[in-house]
Amino acid sequence: MSLFRKDIDRIEGYVPGEQPRESGWTKLNTNENPYPPSLKVVAAIKAAAEGRLNIYPDPIATRFRQLAARTFNVDPDWILPANGSDENLTILIRTFVDAGELISYPYPSYILYETLADIQGARHERLQLNPDWSWDFDSTAAAIGHSKMVLVPNPNSPSGTLWTDEELQRLVPPNGVFVLDQAYGDFRDEADTGAILHGELGKRIVVTRTLSKSYSLAGIRFGFAIAHPDLIAGMRKAKDSYNCNTLSLAAAVAALEDQQWMLDNISKVRCTRTRLTNELIKHGFMVVPSQANFVWATHSSRRHADIYQALKERKILVRFMEFQLAGGATTDGLRITIGTDDEIDRFLLELNQLV
Amino acid sequence: MSLFRKDIDRIEGYVPGEQPRESGWTKLNTNENPYPPSLKVVAAIKAAAEGRLNIYPDPIATRFRQLAARTFNVDPDWILPANGSDENLTILIRTFVDAGELISYPYPSYILYETLADIQGARHERLQLNPDWSWDFDSTAAAIGHSKMVLVPNPNSPSGTLWTDEELQRLVPPNGVFVLDQAYGDFRDEADTGAILHGELGKRIVVTRTLSKSYSLAGIRFGFAIAHPDLIAGMRKAKDSYNCNTLSLAAAVAALEDQQWMLDNISKVRCTRTRLTNELIKHGFMVVPSQANFVWATHSSRRHADIYQALKERKILVRFMEFQLAGGATTDGLRITIGTDDEIDRFLLELNQLV
């Protein structure tokens, strides 16, 4: 007899993108920001390292919540920090979804949602997107009637496409919670002011944010949820008391205080995104117009797995992804993270020899 | 209708010990180490802060696992790091215990086990200790027959008492997992070499360790589990991919590399523990002989809540704890963390005016 829960036995476990530890790689595979974090963040971590690390961190992240609240124009009790957005998603599912209940999300999208549903023993349903990444909102809104939780990344991954608040509001399940995963929200051309959280429907919506991408801090693991205090109060019961450490809290506060640094970096990323998109099209790729820090590219004649492999042999990592279509067939493509201009030049130089 | 899971609705949530953010307090309430971490740890964090924080951490904590494995004389695949022991306990329950299954633990003990069981929707059973903190192992071994998980802190909290491997082996449930919580293990007079993990019974035992206490690193949130690789493999499926951050990983590696720093500090804590114990006895307290970095003290005539409150008014925090006895009555006492000699002098000076 297995010692494990049956839900653990039957899953493989989530496999994150490759993270080579040695240097020399051009990493365009896990949507990290190619620019370093603010020097003020580095200074804040060093100061915290000199501080009282023998003492537990502030379990309610007072300073961070005040700052995030000001940034999003809500009160601090609307904010819940977590050890990365991954932990926030785990907390959300453990707060709202019982074993056997239904979780829904677009497909293709962030596949971690499915793993987290599996761990919880929840049922899950993929809400299939059209081949052009659009969504039939009439049929989708009808499909989520029995969902306890609908999770939607906006912009979506791997497409980088965006839905409007009006479209998303149709996906708030009548007896459940809508999670709007804004991991890539800062890379949009037009900023999102969080308007969807207010009003009656907003009482069943949770926005999740991360410092990993736009603030260049994937290494410190810091995300936060924004939602009505009634929802946050329940989520707080499901989290570990000290889920964010003294160093990441100090880094997160300094990062939010230096908005200009983040804005300058995402502006560079957006410029490079346009250039990469144009160059890929010249090389025979179809590229979905992206509002995130990556693009989804498919080639009309070359095999994506071969391109991925050939690039890897040249120490360039992109993400090869394969998805199932509605009829049972599969489709695939390459998700390419926006690197620095130098990294993208190097990528294009090698690509030139491949396609 | 509530949006929350019924398990979330019916719990209050765990309340950690008081953590005042302003200075001036003598904190003897949450079993932190009063001494700072090694300067090599501080240097390692600063170096990591200068590194690539824009990149995700190593999801499998390669260097840390190698080092911890060497320290405990096992292979690296016996080690699973986590965001504090709290996260390891959460991972353990999510890996092994389904809703409705039974979790057992000594009582009085670490009350978080009960909260974690509640969040998972598991049943839980308190295995009552005798008033002198001893345990009737015959009846207890009989009581755990249907447990999926038995959790035992050794040394126990709040008593600081220790059980032998021979006693603990009797509590490995026949169809479940035994979790040996060694959060305070380094403070024992005789080191534990982890012998209990080897042999046939060891395949159902998980030891959890933390850097919070003996390594003076409560602020960085770092714990790890040691168990047979078959158990670790299942636990890995239940954890977030990047559950430890770049900074805490760097700190943890440096901490384990500087064993002498930790050993010097716990030696000081043990000396102060003896002195505090003797002084408390002189002041009319009964003190349980402790093998941890705290003592459990009960006074023959004074009300513990009053002593706690009077100390708090003097900016000294100890932990007032209340427990239910087998018959339904309650008992209480004070758990006092071993501070520096100066802190304990201050505590004794004030106590002198109170009892």
Widest distance between CA atoms in chain B = 59
Residue-wise pLDDT tens digits, A279-316:
999 999 999 999 999 999 999 999 999 999 999 999 99
Res. B1: pLDDT tops 80 = no
Q: Which one of A30, A33, A240 has the shortest CB-CB distance to B90?
A: A240
Contact list in B for residue A53 (CB cut-off 8 A) is 36-37, 41-42, 216-220, 251
- Give the chain A residue nearest B63 (alpha carbons): A21
ipTM for the whole complex: 0.96
- Give the chain B residue nearest A90 (alpha carbons): B240
pLDDT > 70 fraction of chain A, expressed in percent and rounded: 100
Answer yes or no: are the C-beta atoms of A216 and B53 closer than 8 Å.
yes
A247–B16 CB contact, under 8 Å: no
Residues paired with A130 in a beta bridge: none
The H or E element containing residue B66 is helix B62-72
A32–B56 CB contact, under 8 Å: yes
Rounded CA gap, A164 and B343, in Å?
58
The whole-chain average pLDDT of chain B stands at 96
At B135 the pLDDT is 93
Q: A297-313: b or e for each residue (b if 16 or more CB lie within 10 Å)?
A: bbbeeeebeebbebbbe
Confidence of residue A200 (pLDDT cuts 50, 70, 90): very high
Alpha-carbon radius of gyration of chain A: 20
Contact list in B for residue A33 (CB cut-off 8 A) is 54
DSSP B216: S
CA of A350 vs chain B CAs: smallest distance (Å)? 23
Residue-wise pLDDT tens digits, B326-353:
788 899 999 999 999 999 999 999 999 9
Query: Chains A and B: how many Cβ contacts under 8 Å?
Result: 240
Selection from A139, A138, A135 nearest residue A152 by Cα: A135
pLDDT > 90 fraction of chain B, expressed in percent and rounded: 92
- Rounded to 5°, the CA angle B258-B262-B264 comes to 115
DSSP β-ladder status, B26-28 and B316-324: parallel
Q: Would you state the structure tokens that stand for residue B298, as one six-digit string? A: 């009960």
At A18 the pLDDT is 87
Rounded CA gap, A183 and A337, in Å?
14
Residues paired with A323 in a beta bridge: A331
3-state SS, one letter per residue, for B223-252: EEEEECHHHHHHHHHHCCCCCCCHHHHHHH
**Secondary structure class of A119 (helix, strand, coil):** helix
> Which of A85, A172, A237 has the most B C-beta neighbours within 10 Å, making it the best mutation to test the interface with B?
A237
CA of B238 vs chain A CAs: smallest distance (Å)? 7
Which residues touch A22 (CB under 8 Å, ≥6 apart)?
Answer: none
Rounded CA gap, A279 and B1, in Å?
53
Res. A329: pLDDT tops 90 = no
Which residues touch B327 (CB under 8 Å, ≥6 apart)?
Answer: none
Contact list in B for residue A84 (CB cut-off 8 A) is 240, 242-243
Enter the pTM of the model: 0.96
Which residues touch A224 (CB under 8 Å, ≥6 apart)?
Answer: A64, A68, A79, A80, A81, A82, A88, A208, A209, A210
Residue-wise pLDDT tens digits, A47-105:
999 999 999 999 999 999 999 999 999 999 999 999 999 999 999 999 999 999 999 99
Task: For helices B259-282 and B341-354, give the axis angle rounded to 10 degrees.
Answer: 20
B177–A243 CB contact, under 8 Å: no
Q: Would you state the structure tokens that stand for residue A348, as one six-digit string? A: 């294009």
The string of DSSP letters for A257-320 reads: H-HHHHHHHHHHHHHHHHHHHHHHHHTTEEE---SSSEEEEEESSS-HHHHHHHHHHTTEE-EE
Region A16-39: mean pLDDT is 93
Residue-wise pLDDT tens digits, A333-345:
999 999 999 999 9
Res. A1: pLDDT tops 80 = no
Q: Which one of B58, B83, B204 has the shortest CB-CB distance to A83?
A: B83
> Which of A18, A55, A66 has the most B C-beta neighbours within 10 Å, making it the best mutation to test the interface with B?
A55
